[in-house]
Amino acid sequence: MSFEVSLTGREQELVDIARAFTAAEITPNAGTWEHERIYPRDTQLAAAAAGLGGVLVPKEDGGEDVSHTGACRIFEELASGCMPFTFSMVVHNNFANSLARNGTAQQKQKFLPDLIACRKIGAFLLTEPGMGSDAQAVSCMARPDGDGWVLDGEKAWISSASHAGVLSIYAQTDPEKGWRGIMCFVIEAERDGVHRVGPYAMAGGHALGTGGFRFEGVRLTRDDVLLEQEAAFKGAMGGIDSARFFVGAMCTGMVNAALTRSLEYVATRPAFGQTVGDFQGIQWMLADVATDIEAMRLLTYSAADTWDKGGNASMAAAHAKKFATRAALTRLTDCMQVMGANGFKIDEVAARHFSSAKMCQFMDGTTEIQNVVIARGLQKQARG
């Protein structure tokens, strides 16, 4: 990569580990995971054994405490092999980080060791069947009952729903307060009244284990509270901001892997007495792919750097996700095109990543929601 970020020695070591892990454990198996709709639990355990299960968690809690910039580089490498697997690790790492920084001593002692080791996978439960991108429209209800609450409702489009063992659940506790009435609870998935829904049959991305949960009379106590009213929704929005530039990093990894493969292919494929790569039209298509990779990286790592320096990264993250997801879909198509019909084979890198790129356009707010965030930011700037 011609653009590189500044990392600590340990962060660079973890990036190198992620690159080697991808080559050995992810890329050779990604096609099988998709074709057979496998959720790769064993590979998650292996990733944790390599040090990738708690990269954002503070060292005093057993994690690596890498910057969000460093985490972007790790996820970029992993996604070059398989985006769905990588996004399961993104959500899991964000979950563990939130628990480490917001949880009680009892909660951290109970959950963090298993999360960092990936013995249990964490899931972030905000989206519901009827709410779509309106994150405030939480109808899953935690009704006050004595010293605790009773939870009823349903969550949808949850990453790792098929296998998650620990859940952070955003539920409404006081509808009159709107988003300020939302609280976040952390519980084990096997609690009475918790039912898994799915996994969903989708156009791709089955290694993510996407599905939902239904709650019927689940009893919650004060010990289950992770984030109180007001803090819960703000925490969720902050987590989504970081997830957006992580999506940018994953898109970068996918397109870069596809470009590498395309360059190899056109350099050796004969056509009309020369190679495909000798034609200027092909060269220029791949040059455009390379330009967009550079732009994806710059937007993504600018947003991560803003976050790491304590700035408001909402607009920067929205720019990164919007551009990277659009560019990924277009440039993966280009990488397929320069390979002719062979580029359409599902075992080829670009074809394998194609549905994942489309999936990225829905994650953590659609492209249209990114425009809402950007437009609001522009209006705020104009007002001074």
Cβ atoms 125, 63 nearer than 8 A = no
Last residue of a domain, one of 229, 259, 287: 229
The domain in which residue 238 lies consists of: 232-383
Cβ atoms 66, 10 nearer than 8 A = yes
CA 308 to CA 66: how far, in whole Å? 10
DSSP 200: P
Whole-number pLDDT of residue 384: 81
CA 127 to CA 140: how far, in whole Å? 10
Whole-number pLDDT of residue 2: 56
Q: Can you read off the two tokens belonging to residue 215?
A: 């709650």
Whole-number pLDDT of residue 3: 62
- φ/ψ of residue 235, rounded to 5: -65, -40
CATH assignment at residue 195? 2.40.110.10
Number of alpha carbons in the 13 Å side-chain half-sphere of residue 135: 21
Domain presence at residue 2:
no
Domain presence at residue 364:
yes
Residue type, position 298, single letter: L
Whole-number pLDDT of residue 135: 74
CATH assignment at residue 314? 1.20.140.10
Co-location of 191 and 266 in the same domain: no
DSSP 140: -
What's the number of domains the chain is made of? 3
H-assigned helices in the chain: 9-21, 27-35, 41-49, 68-79, 83-102, 105-116, 231-268, 280-308, 314-337, 349-360, 367-383
Per-run averaged pLDDT (10 residues), the chain, 384 residues = 79 98 98 96 98 97 97 98 98 97 97 98 94 81 96 97 98 94 97 96 96 98 96 90 96 98 97 95 98 97 96 96 98 98 94 97 93 94 90
DSSP 38: -
Name the CA dihedral angle for 330, 332, 335, 339, rounded to a multiple of 10 degrees: -110
Q: Can you read off the two tokens belonging to residue 140?
A: 């899953």
Whole-number pLDDT of residue 136: 80
- Please name the residue that has the structure tokens 């972007």: 72
